[in-house]
Chains A and B, each alone.
Chain A
Amino acid sequence: MFSRDRWQEIFETIRKNKLRTILSGFTVALGIFIFIVLFGFGNGLKNSFEEFFLDDATNTLWLYPGVTSKAYRGFKDNRRIEFDNSDLIDIQENFAFFLERITPRINRREVLGYKNKSNSYYTRAVTPAHQYIEKTVIMKGRFINQKDLEEKNKNIVIGRLVEQDLFKNENPIGKYVEIKESAFKVVGVFQDKSGDREERLVYLPYTTRQLLEKTNDKIDQIIVSFKPELGYVGALAFERQLRDFFKNKKVIDPSDKSGLYIRNTAEMVKQNQQFAATLQIIVAIVGFGTLIAGIIGISNIMVFVVKERTKELGVRKALGATPISVVGMILHESIFITTISGIFGLLIGVFVLSRLGDQLEQYFILNPYVDTLTAFIATFSLIFFGAVAGYIPAKRAASIKPIVALRDE
């Protein structure tokens, strides 16, 4: 069936019918190419999305104090709520069942000076737990530790870009930086994929910060992480109980929405995952649609090719071609062309995707790629359906009486 003679016959036909070959080859190559590129872009979108939203820890609750909007139990409205150290202790004591880690945050803007350079940066006063909650990656040295916290050390951890700004090529670890006329030792440098803003931050122990500010015990925010095994429902329960606890402790009307804010990432994560799933479905639909369009394209061409060859097939049959040999010839030829051009389109598509790399990051397409399995399934389904689409008209052409085929003009 696939003898050398048959191959020669097919090569000859392909060589001498260039337009037909190019037409069907181009359709398949283009179909696969577009599929690969679109699908790759879709994956790129998904990548940026995950980069943006699924970067931080996903089991956290963020507590922000607000301003009351209702008078309650003898307090007037418009009262500013504040957190302090006792709140941290209360959470640790009352919510041990839910709690994994806890950190306060005290945010200040400070000028950091080193040698003759100085610059203003946001500082965050935190506990060691903060590293896990933000998924901060340490490049050099270490993060704030428990000892820093207890001894209220003047140690800081700086972002990659702070290092770049102030230290250029110097190793900052162990160097002293001036903040408000006192010297702080750099103990670590971190990086963060979330963006430039994150890498221009400076971390210090919150106890040190409170000491600097004349031993007050105020806290700007509290971030807690809950045990992941609690799941979504557990997270909601934790949130509800925290809210009740603090509304009671800070004497806020239970119906007052603005006295205390709690952001629950579990809820966001759920939404984000739904969004990611939607994105995935859109990518799949786009890919599937392209593939269908390609299949319809190659089917039309096959119908056209067989129609165009009707008379030739009649001549071949008059000369003794059996129906099987006619069908075999058409299929062999079409599968050969679609395979070659399909693989060609596949390679070009993969090449283009890999060349694009991160160039489209501004359009939220990050690392576009197509996994090998998807690429091959797509290519082979196009080849397969091209063959099926060719088989039907070929079969019909092979079964009409030679005299009818010969009459075709």
Chain B
Amino acid sequence: MIQINNLHKSYKIGSNSLHVLKGIDLKIDEGELVAIMGSSGSGKSTLLNILGMLDIADDGKYLLDNVLIQDLTETTAANYRNRFLGFVFQSFNLINYKNALENVALPLYYQGLGRKIRQQKALEYLEKVGLKDWATHLPSELSGGQKQRVAIARAMASQPKVLLADEPTGALDSNTSNEVMGLIQKINEEGKTILVVTHEIEIAHMCKRIVTLKDGVIVEDKKTNQTLIDTNV
């Protein structure tokens, strides 16, 4: 599903350049649930943003579902993001003046679906994350865990090939973290390919595979004994 070879990325800071990713090779198959670990500043978010086409690599090859992601116009990139990728952020990034339902419906709007279908699908996904009754609530009226579940519903609504989550539990306490991870496991069970950036080892062990970054290179890549959360949401 995802294949990257010799990926490089540096940030310009003034006249200096900070080499963050120093040649990453990674292959992720369909249906995998991968945790990306590493200490702060090791380049986890940078990698995920490049995979999510929110940022561009300096060098290297990136294949997403056998499509070469290279020199895309911003419009094409937008269409790929819309159809192939779902994003979940640590800080939720919900649109604060839209209610839960409208937030979930937004990627469907950019898919060009009609209003009726958007509403119906959005409601369906809200139900999946257990928040059907909260559809008309604004983000400010939701708890952190609820917000993240809305964000997951939003990422899933467009039926992407890959779900990318950057520290989805970073702003949550351990109970709600478990809820959110349970949801991610459930979605993975349905066959979705998922990447989760985290620096909590417990969270990483809820995934099926752990890739560890250090100083811009992969230092470890291993399968886990997945800890399953029994979902009661």
Is there a chain B Cβ closer than 8 Å to A318's Cβ?
Answer: yes
Return chain A residues, CB-CB under 8 Å to B106. 316, 319
13 contacts between A and B (CB under 8 A): A13-B97, A16-B97, A311-B93, A315-B93, A319-B81, A319-B87, A320-B81, A320-B111, A320-B158, A322-B75, A325-B110, A399-B74, A403-B49
Report if A268 contacts B (CB, 8 A). Answer: no
A402 within 8 A of B: yes
Check if A228 is an interface residue, CB within 8 A of chain B: no
From B74, B93, B95, B109, A323 is in contact (CB under 8 Å) with B74
Q: A81 → chain B, closest Cβ, in Å?
A: 87
A13 to chain B, nearest CB (A): 7
In the complex, per-residue mask of B66-89: 1 if CB is within 8 Å of any chain A CB, else 0: 000000001100110111000101
Contacts of A325 in B (CB 8 A): 78, 110
Q: Looking at B94, B106, B114, which has the most chain A CB atoms within 10 Å of its CB? A: B106
Q: Are B81 and A324 in contact (CB under 8 A)?
A: no
CA distance A201 to B198 in the complex (A): 100
With A399-B74, A403-B49, A406-B89 in contact, is A320–B56 under 8 Å at CB? no
Chain A contributes a number of interface residues (CB within 8 A of B) equal to: 27
Given contacts A5-B115, A403-B54, A403-B55, contact A319 B98 (CB under 8 A): no
- Among A318, A320, A322, the one with the most B-chain Cβ atoms within 10 Å of its Cβ is A320
Q: Provide the bound-state CA to CA distance between A5 and B106, in Å.
A: 12
Interface size class for chain B? 20 to 34
Least distance between B195 CB and chain A CB atoms (Å): 15
Give CA–CA (A12, B119) in the complex, Å. 15
A-B CB proximity, top 3 nearest: A320-B82, A16-B97, A320-B110
Q: List B contacts of A399 (CB < 8 A).
A: 74
| Residue interface bits A274-318, CB-to-B below 8 A is 1, else 0 | 000000000000000000000000000000000000011011111
B43 within 8 Å of A by Cβ? no
B74 and A12 contact, CB distance less than 8 A: no
Residues of B within 8 A of A311 (CB): 93
- Is A54 at the interface (CB under 8 A from chain B)? no
Cβ-closest chain B residue relative to A3: B112
Complex interface bits, A325-342 against B, C-beta within 8 A gives 1, otherwise 0: 100000000000000000
Return the CB mask of B36-72 against A: 1 if under 8 Å, else 0: 0000000000000100101110000000000000000
A319 B79 Cβ-Cβ under 8 A? no
Q: Hey, which chain A residues are within 8 Å of B109, CB to CB?
A: 5, 9
Closest to B96 in A: A312
A322-B102 CB under 8 A given contacts A401-B56, A402-B54: no
User: How far is A320 from B110 in the complex, measured between Cα atoms in Å?
Assistant: 6
Compute how far the CA of A322 lies from the CA of B52 in the bound complex, rounded to whole angstroms. 15
Contact B154 A319 (CB under 8 A): yes
Q: What 0/1 pattern do residues 368 to 409 of A give for CB contact below 8 A with B? A: 000000000000000000000000000000110111001000
Check B78–A406 contact: CB distance below 8 A. no
CA distance in complex: A8, B106 (Å): 12
Q: Write the residues of chain A forming the contact surface with B, with a CB cutoff of 8 angstroms.
A: 5, 8-9, 12-13, 16-17, 311-312, 314-325, 398-399, 401-403, 406
CB distance from B13 to the nearest CB of A (A): 14
- A312 and B110 in contact, given A401-B56, A402-B54 (Cβ under 8 angstroms): no
A-B contacts besides A316-B110, A320-B110, 19 pairs, CB < 8 Å: A16-B98, A315-B93, A315-B94, A315-B95, A316-B95, A317-B81, A319-B82, A320-B79, A320-B82, A320-B107, A320-B158, A321-B78, A321-B110, A322-B79, A325-B78, A399-B74, A401-B54, A402-B54, A403-B55
Q: Name the residue of chain A whose CB is nearest to the CB of B91.
A: A406
Residues on A with C-beta less than 8 A from B154 are: 319
* Beta-carbon contact of B93 and A317 below 8 Å: no
Given contacts A13-B97, A17-B97, A403-B49, contact A323 B78 (CB under 8 A): yes
Given A324-B75, A403-B49, A403-B54, the answer on whether A318 and B110 have CB atoms closer than 8 Å is no
> Closest CB of chain B to A374's CB: distance in Å?
39
Task: Say yes or no: B75 contacts A323, CB within 8 Å.
Answer: yes
Q: 1/0 contact trace for B97-130 toward A, CB 8 Å?
A: 1100010001101110011000000000000000
* Contact status B79-A401, CB under 8 Å: no
* Residue from A9, A12, A17, A320 in contact with B78 in the complex, judged by beta carbons closer than 8 Å: A320
Minimal beta-carbon separation of B90 from chain A (angstroms)? 11
- With a cutoff of 8 Å between Cβ atoms, the chain B residues found around residue A402 in the complex are 54, 81
Chain B residues near A401 (CB, 8 Å)? 54-56
| Whole-angstrom CA separation of A73 from B154 in the bound complex | 111
Which residues on B sit within 8 Å (CB–CB) of A322?
Answer: 74-75, 78-79, 110
